Amino acid sequence: MSQIASLPLFHQIAGQSVLVLGDGPAAEPKRRLVERAGGVIVDDLARAVDEGVRLAFIAYDDPRACEVAAINARCAGMLVNVVDRPELCDFTTPSILDRDPLLVAIGTGGASAGLAKHVRLRLERVLPETLGLLAKALEAARPALRVKFPEGPDRRRAVDAALREGGALDPFDPASFRKVDDWVEDMALPASGAIFDVTLTSADPEDLTLRQARLLGEADVLLIDGAVPSAILARARADAAREPMREGSANGPGLTLILRWRPAAPETGS
């Protein structure tokens, strides 16, 4: 199975106390981040322990002071972030692209905050400012979607069809948020039972075609023929069913993707 360096989570802290220790340029961005997320800053370790605070940011200039504070906070049950000391961190903070309520978080596990920032700056240029409006419109449409498609898999298939590239609600179309009501009114369930057969010859996910990558991201069922590399399977939906390919197994609702592993023979010298 393909491994990831850390588990990405979105932690809701509105109205909750968060410990922030330290002064100066290292601590100030953490204070702004906590306040932006609605948290209440506590700057005293003893008080944080008494109040049962769960998150701590530590940004002392003195490395030894950071180490001691991290140990004390962790012993009190807090998850700890020490600025510029990834080896002391239980969690790291990503570079955030904000299209409220849609957030894109880019992290490197503490390897390079600068890299995360510049990836975010590139994405800022290509992701429409109206993505947040699209997210809110889709949220408002949930009751109507549940009435039209009572079954969860049917709703997901309908939304997938609309949001894919060139779909009725393509996220890269800045005007998509205006089309949600009409889409809900007029939409029909995409044809069920679609089956696609893909033969893979490379273990590198970068060698996937755009179509193959899209099918991996949308498939309800993966039928696996051979030792398909974990790096390829990591591109599939996490909740997609995964089964070995057997006679008659390519039959069911939703999108089924048959993945056949047929690696290219290694080149031999002359």
Q: What is the pLDDT of residues 43-84, one digit of tens each?
A: 999 999 999 999 999 999 999 999 999 999 999 999 999 999
| Collapsed DSSP state (helix, strand, coil) of residue 205 | helix
Which backbone phi and psi does 121 adopt, to 5 degrees? Answer: -60, -35
Q: Are 17 and 39 in contact (CB under 8 A)?
A: yes
pLDDT at 200: 94
In the chain, CATH 3.40.50.720 covers: 17-93
Taken as a whole, the chain contains a residue count of 270
Q: What is the CATH number of domain 17-93?
A: 3.40.50.720
CA distances (Å), 55 to each of 19, 46, 80, 156, in order? 6, 14, 6, 34
pLDDT at 267: 62
In the chain, CATH 3.40.1010.10 covers: 195-261
Q: Which residues pair with 241 in a beta bridge?
A: 221
Average pLDDT rounded to a whole number, residues 134-151: 94
Q: Return the closest-CA partner of residue 214 out of 257, 261, 171.
A: 257
pLDDT winner (highest mean) among 94-98, 156-160, 194-198: 94-98
From CA 197, how far away is CA 185, in angstroms rounded?
33
From CA 256, how far away is CA 143, in angstroms rounded?
28
pLDDT confidence of 28, banded at 50, 70, 90?
very high
b/e for 211-238, b at 16 or more Cβ within 10 A? ebeebbebbbbbbbbeebbeebbeebee
As a whole number of Å, the end-to-end CA separation of the chain is 36
- Is-above-0.85 flag for pTM? no
Q: Are 5 and 109 in contact (CB under 8 A)?
A: yes
Q: What is the CATH number of domain 195-261?
A: 3.40.1010.10
> Is residue 208's pLDDT more than 80?
yes
Backbone region of residue 84 per phi and psi (left: phi > 0; alpha: psi in -120 to 50; beta: other values): left
pLDDT at 2: 61
Q: Kindly tell me the burial class for residue 18, based on how many C-beta atoms sit within 10 Å of its own C-beta (0-12, 13-18, 19 or more).
A: buried
pLDDT at 269: 57
User: Average model confidence (pLDDT) for the chain?
Assistant: 91
Task: Name which of 17-21, 60-64, 219-223 the model is least confident about.
Answer: 219-223
Task: Name which of 16-30, 141-155, 249-263 the model is least confident about.
Answer: 249-263
Question: pLDDT tens for residues 106-124?
Answer: 999 888 989 999 999 999 9
| Collapsed DSSP state (helix, strand, coil) of residue 261 | strand
From CA 186, how far away is CA 158, in angstroms rounded?
12
Question: Who has greater pLDDT, 4 or 54?
Answer: 54
Average pLDDT rounded to a whole number, residues 144-153: 89
